[in-house]
Amino acid sequence: MGFPDARSAIVVVVDGLGFWNLRLRLGHTPYLRSLLSDEANNRPITTCLPSTTTAAMGVFGTGCCPGLTGMAGYTQRNVQTGALAQLIQFRDAPEPEDLQRQPTVFQSLAEQEVRVTSSGLPKFAYSGLTRAALRGTDYISHTHSRSRVLAAAKAAREPGLTYLYIRDIDKVGHALGWESEEWVAALEQADAQLASLKRESPKGTLIVIVADHGMVSANPKSRFDLADHPHLQEGISLVGGEPRQVMLYLQEGADPNQVAQRWQEALGESAVIRTREQAIQEGLFGPVDPRLRNVFGDVMISSLGGATVVDSRTQADLATRLPGVHGSQTYLETDIPCLVDVA
């Protein structure tokens, strides 16, 4: 990646900051714009599939793909109970350390007696997602965003690794869309926080800014509700994933190939449909641990354009109509920045 040697490094994850989302609003980000003027920074890297927080943070925290972390989406089957689990809060899910058994990068560094510090919101200190993907750090809690930035900069005075998480861009994008004025305001605030991080960090500190995914605008006219299509419900026991990357879990005896064909005919050019076997063969989740195979849906639906696939029978109305979404394979969703700076 071309990182320079440094005694201390700060890695920042800006939730929802896709590379192309940033490029299309670059006039609002003086600090990030200055980084992109460097040719080495002016290119995207790629997140995982599904391009969503739970899966991507597993990849970020461990260096392993979803097939090895077992973190496959916003909701996924709990193979211990057969029910649908939600991984943001680990609701109805296995214990985080049991589902995600790969050592984290933070744990590996701590075992080598390297200082590892996280600066984040108090509610994330012992959350399921932190325990699964980001365990192994000394966690510093602050409710105010500036306090979290200052805590990260202070921690960097000692040799080692510091992790900082910035979340508002994703939160606003889901609620109001990434093309909204409010999203631009959240982007401006994140840019100001990152510029402050550089100013406050000790001279020589390596700063690396990445994201977990980008975002697309949902097209209400391309919203496909399973509740309106009874013939497509045949053979399906659970609907997991998210509106851009749906996972269908089938009833015993149902043929995944037939279900996939039926869905492809219904969705046409608005989605790519694969069986789980096809997705694994294509390497979409990397190598897959046999223990985790059934975490992934029997049929996978990757939405294209601004299309979404929802199920109003089980999902809240607000969740089925989010203006900003992600999870699928488009460049807006999967291309993320990797911006390198030195304080």
Domains (range + CATH), the chain: 8-64+102-217+330-342 (3.40.720.10), 220-321 (3.30.1360.180)
Predicted local distance difference test score (pLDDT) of residue 89: 94
Length of the chain equals 343
Predicted local distance difference test score (pLDDT) of residue 159: 98
Residue 289 per-residue DSSP state = -
Predicted local distance difference test score (pLDDT) of residue 170: 97
Q: How many CA atoms lie within 13 A of 228 on its CB side?
A: 6
Per the prediction, the chain carries an average pLDDT of 97
Cβ neighbors of 330 (< 8 A, separation 6 or more) are 216, 304, 305
Task: Examine the pLDDT at 221 and tell me if it is beyond 90.
Answer: yes
Predicted local distance difference test score (pLDDT) of residue 1: 81
Task: Examine the pLDDT at 78 and tell me if it is beyond 90.
Answer: yes
Residue 89, judged by CB atoms within 10 A of its CB (0-12, 13-18, 19+), counts as exposed
Q: Measured between alpha carbons, how far is 257 from 239 in angstroms, rounded to an integer?
A: 17
* pLDDT (tens digit per residue) in 93-128: 999 999 999 999 999 999 999 999 999 999 999 999
Predicted local distance difference test score (pLDDT) of residue 129: 97
Q: Which of 107, 164, 115, 159 is nearest to 140 (CA)?
A: 164
Q: Measured between alpha carbons, how far is 204 from 7 in angstroms, rounded to an integer?
A: 8
Predicted local distance difference test score (pLDDT) of residue 42: 95
Look up residue 144 and give its two tokens.
């105010």
Q: Measured between alpha carbons, how far is 315 from 241 in angstroms, rounded to an integer?
A: 12
Q: Which of 65, 68, 69 is nearest to 49 (CA)?
A: 65
Task: Examine the pLDDT at 5 and tell me if it is beyond 90.
Answer: yes
Read off the pLDDT band of 269 (50, 70, 90).
Answer: very high
Predicted local distance difference test score (pLDDT) of residue 196: 98
Query: How far from 141 is each of 53, 60, 146, 195, 216, CA to CA, in Å?
Result: 21, 21, 12, 21, 31
Predicted local distance difference test score (pLDDT) of residue 2: 81
Predicted local distance difference test score (pLDDT) of residue 281: 97
Query: How far from 275 is each of 33, 258, 302, CA to CA, in Å?
Result: 41, 10, 11
Percent of residues, the chain, with pLDDT higher than 70: 100
* pLDDT (tens digit per residue) in 25-70: 999 999 999 999 999 999 999 999 999 999 999 999 999 999 999 9
Predicted local distance difference test score (pLDDT) of residue 286: 96
